[in-house]
């Protein structure tokens, strides 16, 4: 027997990406710029160590201002080249940016602080800083240690932002894709099921069966559920079970001689929610491929039980598979859709086991529902 175990999918929940990146970025500015660079400048031999003036809080503002030149790089320039996958160009642009742009930016910042300084202890420091950048404009000289630490610190911010934003977009695309798959699933269910059901209802009306109005009402409720309730990510479990019950009754009417049984054990008191149309592909699959269509001995047996917040869905049906090609087609896109939706809506909170051989197909699904 071929066993397929698709258990306990660890699909990551969506991380608050922007918040995470902002915290990391703030930490880099605080630890590296406000503490490390401040300590670096405060230890400059040209600053007198006078108790009345130390610890020079103005140097924190200077550290921040002298580092602001990196913001356009890791916010806009770097991400642009990474998105384009121009990695070689990014290398050369980075060298040019940190050598030339930093020099001109630092020249302007040091000049502003020199002209606006009112702390006598920092006069010589600002003069020396401005003099250095004045004579090294155009990349004629760089403070290699300071430049490298700037590069390392903010390259980490650049890649952190890029990696998490890329992951967020990927997650959003996956979610949008699953939404489209759900819409496709509903669209497939409409014509296939509606066509067969209307044929059955037409036959019932011709023979004058008294149950015809009741089945028309069932069909109406099913269509209303698909068109309106399934627009949401979650529906009440009672509504989804009602949809399954209506579907089963319709199919039982089509195959009155088949051995079809489905037991539901649910109190109905808990206001629990479930992703819509999550279980119907398994039932459709069993009716589509079940041997009950051509053999009196064919069967479909299922059971759905809810205990607390645990849902257990079991379904088994007899099949007729005559060729290897039929085996590979069994299940189809609908089952793949369910697997992806389970990973999205119940990450780490579900277990799906599917097994099949030449005569039987069995599904066992466990979900930890949320109230």
pLDDT in tens, the chain (371 residues): 333 333 333 333 444 556 777 888 999 999 999 999 998 888 888 777 644 456 788 899 999 999 999 999 999 999 999 988 899 999 999 999 998 999 899 999 999 999 998 888 888 889 889 888 888 765 566 788 889 999 999 999 999 888 888 877 877 777 777 676 666 665 555 565 677 678 778 877 888 888 888 888 988 888 888 888 887 878 999 999 999 998 888 888 877 788 889 999 887 666 789 988 889 889 888 887 777 767 766 889 999 999 888 999 999 998 876 555 555 444 556 788 788 788 878 888 999 999 988 888 899 999 998 75
pLDDT value, residue 86: 93
Predicted local confidence at residue 328, as pLDDT: 44
Distances in whole angstroms, Cα of residue 84 to Cα of each of 71, 280, 327:
20, 43, 43
Q: Report the predicted TM-score, pTM, of the whole model to 2 decimal places.
A: 0.54
DSSP string, 60-77: HHHHHHHHTTHHHIIIII
User: What is the DSSP-derived secondary structure letter of residue 30?
Assistant: I
Shortest CA distance to 6 belongs to which of 287, 370, 363, 361? Answer: 363
What is the four-CA torsion angle of 84, 87, 92, 97, rounded to 10 degrees?
60
Q: What is the pLDDT of residue 324?
A: 53
> Where are the extended beta strands (E) located within the chain?
2-7, 235-236, 259-265, 273-274, 299-307, 310-318, 350-356, 360-368
Residue 2 pLDDT: 37
User: E strands of 249-349, at which residues?
Assistant: 259-265, 273-274, 299-307, 310-318
The answer to whether 121 touches 50, Cβ cutoff 8 Å, is yes
Buried/exposed 81-107: b ≥16 CB within 10 Å, e otherwise: bbeeeeeeebeebbeebbeebbbebbb
For residue 330, give the nearest of 340, 339, 338, 320 by alpha carbon: 320
pLDDT in the model for residue 271: 76
Helix, strand and coil percent figures for the chain, each rounded to 5: 60, 15, 25
Task: State the fold for domain 210-368.
Answer: Heat Shock Protein 90 (3.30.565)
Q: What is the DSSP letter of 363?
A: E
CA angle 280, 284, 288 (to 5 degrees): 175
Helix (H, G, I), strand (E, B) or coil at 25: helix
Per domain, the residue ranges of the chain are: 17-168, 210-368
Give CA separation, 261 vs 240, 284, 287, 302, in Å: 18, 14, 12, 6
The per-residue pLDDT for 234 is 87
Question: How far is residue 11 CA from its own chain's centroid?
Answer: 8
CB atoms within 10 A of CB 224: 12
């Amino acid at each position: 027997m071929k066993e397929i175990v698709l258990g306990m999918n660890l699909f990551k929940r969506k991380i608050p990406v922007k918040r995470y990146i902002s915290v990391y970025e703030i930490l880099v500015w605080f630890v590296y710029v406000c503490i490390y660079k401040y300590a670096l400048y405060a230890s400059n031999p040209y600053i007198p160590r006078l108790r009345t003036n130390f610890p020079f809080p103005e140097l924190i503002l200077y550290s921040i201002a002298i580092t602001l030149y990196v913001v356009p790089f890791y916010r806009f320039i770097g991400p642009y080249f990474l998105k384009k996958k121009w990695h070689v160009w990014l290398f050369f642009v980075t060298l040019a940016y940190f050598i030339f742009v930093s020099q001109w930016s630092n020249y302007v910042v040091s000049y502003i602080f020199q002209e606006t300084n009112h702390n006598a202890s920092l006069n010589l420091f600002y003069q020396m800083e401005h003099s250095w950048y004045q004579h090294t404009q155009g990349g004629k000289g760089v403070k290699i240690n300071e430049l490298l630490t700037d590069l390392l610190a903010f390259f980490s911010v650049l890649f952190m932002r890029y990696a998490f934003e890329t992951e967020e977009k990927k997650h959003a695309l996956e979610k949008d894709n699953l939404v489209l798959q759900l819409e496709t699933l509903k669209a497939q269910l409409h014509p296939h099921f509606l066509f067969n059901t209307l044929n059955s209802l037409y036959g019932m009306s011709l023979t004058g069966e008294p149950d015809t109005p009741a089945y028309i009402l069932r069909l109406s409720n099913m269509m209303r559920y698909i068109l309106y309730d399934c627009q949401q990510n979650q529906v009440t479990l009672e509504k989804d079970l009602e949809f399954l019950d209506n579907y089963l009754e319709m199919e039982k009417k089509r195959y009155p001689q088949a051995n079809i049984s489905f037991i539901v054990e649910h109190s109905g008191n808990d206001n629990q929610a479930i992703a819509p149309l999550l279980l119907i592909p398994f039932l459709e699959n069993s009716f589509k491929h079940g041997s009950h269509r051509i053999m009196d001995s064919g069967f479909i047996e299922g059971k759905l039980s809810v205990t607390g917040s645990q849902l257990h869905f079991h379904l088994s049906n007899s099949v007729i598979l005559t060729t290897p090609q039929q085996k590979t087609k069994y299940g189809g896109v609908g089952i793949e859709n369910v697997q992806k939706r389970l990973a999205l809506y119940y990450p780490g909170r579900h277990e799906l086991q599917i097994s099949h051989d030449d005569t039987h197909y069995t599904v066992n699904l466990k979900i930890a529902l949320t109230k």
